């Protein structure tokens, strides 16, 4: 038995979440699906499990094309999905949850169901008390409940979307043992993750997705740097930007430690010059986000000094950093940067420095219209932030930036954008750089990092594992560091 995913397309407005995905999953294998956040993994899994209808493409199980209009159809066909956050009816008991989710047409003998539940738990070593209210279960136990439920419903393909988020190391180890046992019994297990080590630990085959496409497949084990290269892309080295002379310290970190408890962490020292571009690389969650937040005053460092233009701002408020012309644009545009329900005009009013008590809405609308035209935002001054596409939200955020900036910090400035919008974003950034603004940006795109950075900081496991001069580094060197290996030694960064 095998599962074939054939040329699946799924677009959300302009976002091509799945852009022609073809993957074959053999029975009895643990198949990893690896990709950065936003790569389109969850979308594909939701298509596969009947939660989303694909725009086009086909799912073939055992040589038969299956029509899926709902999750019930999927489970009927033998495909079950464990969600990132298991869907459990919290007020009900474990056993009620077990039987509740069964499709309506199944005739239920509760006593028999309870016996089968006990048998499945026994078989996989789960210690679930049928009478416990589900709300008292840990995330790991909810997963176990979901797994036995899906098995009971006849799943032969089990999909787990980022199942290790929020569970303990113990529970993870236990989950991995269960998944290996299931594969041995002939089950196809699709394990979705953005964590390289987990996929490397568990899976026999791996498919790598980037920006809605499959960019690589490999039979495990393969060296981690090969997976990193697939995830981050092979950079075409083009360095055609105008050289700008650097000069004057804009942002200085001295012996900064980011968090307590990381005793092995080397303190970070960094002096960002005017008009310098610093790229920040690393697997998702390796400390880049904390680093950027420390640079803009949203978090205080555990130790060390942060100064802007020679002024010590250690421990000062985000507003003090803003007053010193340091601005941060986070990755989650709608979550952190823009406000749902507010129009473009209202955003400009909020971002503006007009301190008068009454807003002149006529004038505000006029100014917003000008900005919409100037930044070629597809929308109107009356569009709400959430109605704009990702590229246009990014344009709005850039349009709202104060004209004079000393340091601009950005997380994934072009993630999820089409090429035209991405190029446009960098035109804006380089224009600011030409006027002296220092830019510090985190990216999961090696091409972007190499193309635009002067220096690249590579994070691994909560610390800076390497600082590279972009002009004389290589994809291989960055890839090794991102995967936790320092050149020469070949040791992983986990243990000194
Ligand atoms: N329901 C939705 N509506 C609009 N856009 C969506 C929706 N679900 C996902 N997306 C977009 O599709 C892209 C892929 O998302 P997702 O499949 O969740 O990626 P991953 O699971 O790899 O992190 C992202 O740009 C995301 O914002
Ligand atoms: Mg996801």
Q: Would the CB of 391 count as within 6 Å of ligand 1?
A: no
pTM: 0.65
Nearest ligand 1 atom to alpha carbon 39: 22
pLDDT for the residue 236: 47
Q: Which segment of 162-176, 287-301, 334-348, 442-456 scores lowest on mean pLDDT? A: 334-348
Mark out the alpha helices in 303-389 (DSSP H runs). 318-323, 344-351, 361-374
Q: Would the CB of 41 count as within 6 Å of ligand 1?
A: yes
pLDDT band at 495 (very low <50, low <70, confident <90, very high): very low
Q: Which segment of 99-103, 299-303, 486-490 scores lowest on mean pLDDT? A: 486-490
Distance CA 457, CA 280 (A): 5
CATH number for the domain running over 2-222 = 3.40.50.300
pLDDT at residue 89 is higher than 80: no
Q: Ligand 1: which of 32, 42, 43 to mutate, judged by most atoms within 8 Å of the beta carbon?
A: 43
Ligand lying closest to the C-alpha of residue 17: 1
Closest by Cα among 380, 408, 410, 409 to 392: 380
pLDDT for the residue 265: 67
Write out the H or E segment, with its range, that includes residue 44.
helix 41-48
Mean pLDDT, residues 352-370 taken together: 78
pLDDT at residue 349 is higher than 70: yes
Q: Which residue has the higher pLDDT, 292 or 374?
A: 292
Write out the H or E segment, with its range, that includes residue 401.
none
Distance 141 CA to ligand 2 centre (A): 21
The values of phi and psi at residue 390, to 5°, are -55, -45
pLDDT digits (tens, 9 = 90+) for 51-79: 999 999 999 999 999 988 888 899 999 99
Going by CATH, does the domain composed of 238-325+404-496 fall within 3.40.50.300? yes
Distance CA 70, CA 76 (A): 10
Q: Would the CB of 3 count as within 6 Å of ligand 1?
A: no
Share of the chain above pLDDT 90, in %: 46
Write out the H or E segment, with its range, that includes residue 19.
strand 15-26
Mean pLDDT, residues 266-295 taken together: 91
pLDDT band at 245 (very low <50, low <70, confident <90, very high): low
Nearest ligand 1 atom to alpha carbon 162: 21
pLDDT for the residue 104: 55
pLDDT for the residue 285: 81
User: Which residue's CA is the nearest one to ligand 1's atom 24?
Assistant: 38
pLDDT digits (tens, 9 = 90+) for 137-177: 888 888 999 999 999 999 999 999 988 877 777 888 999 99
Segments making up each domain of the chain, as ranges: 2-222, 238-325+404-496, 338-401
Q: Tokens 């008068």 identify what position?
A: 356
Average pLDDT, the chain: 86
pLDDT for the residue 107: 59
pLDDT digits (tens, 9 = 90+) for 423-434: 888 988 998 998
pLDDT band at 309 (very low <50, low <70, confident <90, very high): very high
Q: How many CA atoms lie within 13 A of 115 on its CB side?
A: 5
Distance CA 101, CA 149 (A): 8
Q: Would the CB of 42 count as within 6 Å of ligand 1?
A: yes
pLDDT for the residue 490: 42
pLDDT for the residue 148: 93
Distance 37 CA to ligand 2 centre (A): 6
Mean pLDDT, residues 448-463 taken together: 90
pLDDT for the residue 129: 94
Nearest ligand 1 atom to alpha carbon 52: 1
Mean pLDDT, residues 29-43 taken together: 91
> Do 238-325+404-496 and 2-222 have the same topology in CATH?
yes
Q: Would the CB of 37 count as within 6 Å of ligand 1?
A: yes
User: Which residue's CA is the nearest one to ligand 1's atom 4?
Assistant: 12
Closest by Cα among 163, 164, 169, 135 to 150: 163
Q: Would the CB of 12 count as within 6 Å of ligand 1?
A: yes
225 token code pair:
């740097």
Residues 69-81 as b or e (16 or more Cβ within 10 Å = b): eebbebbbbbbbb
């Amino acid at each position: 038995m095998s599962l074939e995913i054939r040329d699946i397309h799924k677009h959300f407005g302009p976002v091509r979440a799945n852009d022609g995905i073809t993957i074959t999953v053999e029975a009895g294998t643990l198949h990893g699906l690896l990709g950065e956040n936003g790569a389109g993994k969850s979308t594909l899994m939701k298509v596969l499990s009947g939660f989303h209808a694909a725009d086009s493409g086909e799912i073939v199980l055992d040589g038969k094309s299956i029509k899926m209009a709902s999750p019930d159809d999927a489970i009927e066909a033998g495909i079950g999905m464990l969600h990132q956050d298991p869907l459990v009816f919290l007020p009900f008991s474990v056993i009620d949850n077990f039987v509740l989710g069964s499709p309506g047409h199944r005739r239920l003998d509760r006593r028999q169901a309870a016996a089968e539940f006990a048998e499945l738990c026994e078989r996989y070593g789960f210690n679930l008390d049928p009478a416990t209210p589900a709300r008292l279960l840990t995330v790991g136990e909810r997963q176990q409940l979901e797994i036995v439920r899906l098995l009971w419903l006849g799943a032969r393909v089990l999909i787990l979307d980022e199942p290790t988020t929020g569970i303990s190391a113990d529970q993870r180890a236990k989950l991995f043992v269960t998944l290996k046992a299931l594969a041995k019994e002939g089950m196809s297990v699709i394990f979705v993750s953005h964590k390289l080590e987990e996929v490397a630990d568990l899976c026999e085959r791996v498919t790598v997705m980037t920006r809605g496409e499959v960019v690589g497949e490999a039979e495990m084990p393969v060296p981690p740097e090969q997976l990193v290269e697939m995830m981050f892309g092979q950079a075409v080295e083009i360095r055609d930007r105008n050289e700008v002379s650097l000069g004057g310290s804009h942002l200085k970190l001295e012996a900064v430690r980011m968090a307590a408890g990381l005793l092995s962490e080397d303190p970070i020292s960094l002096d960002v010059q005017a008009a310098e571009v610093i790229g920040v690389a690393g697997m998702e969650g390796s400390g880049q986000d904390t680093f950027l937040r420390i640079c803009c005053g949203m978090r205080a460092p555990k130790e060390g000094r942060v100064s802007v233009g020679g002024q010590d701002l250690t421990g000062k408020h985000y507003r003090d950093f803003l007053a010193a012309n340091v601005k941060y644009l986070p990755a989650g545009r709608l979550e952190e940067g823009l406000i749902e329900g507010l129009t473009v005009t209202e955003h400009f009013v909020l971002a503006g420095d007009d301190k008068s008590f009454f807003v002149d809405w006529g004038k505000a609308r006029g100014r917003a219209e000008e900005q919409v035209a100037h930044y070629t935002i597809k929308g109107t001054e009356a569009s709400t932030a959430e109605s704009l596409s990702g590229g246009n939200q990014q344009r709005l955020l850039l349009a709202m930036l104060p004209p004079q900036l000393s340091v601009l910090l950005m997380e994934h400035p072009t993630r999820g954008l089409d090429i035209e919008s991405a190029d446009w974003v960098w035109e804006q950034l380089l224009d600011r750089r030409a006027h002296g603004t220092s830019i510090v940006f985190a990216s999961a795109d090696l091409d972007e990092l190499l193309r635009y950075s002067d220096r690249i900081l590579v994070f691994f496991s909560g610390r800076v594992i390497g600082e590279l001069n972009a002009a004389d580094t290589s994809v291989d060197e960055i890839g090794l560091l991102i995967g936790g290996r320092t050149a020469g030694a070949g040791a992983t960064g986990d243990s000194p």
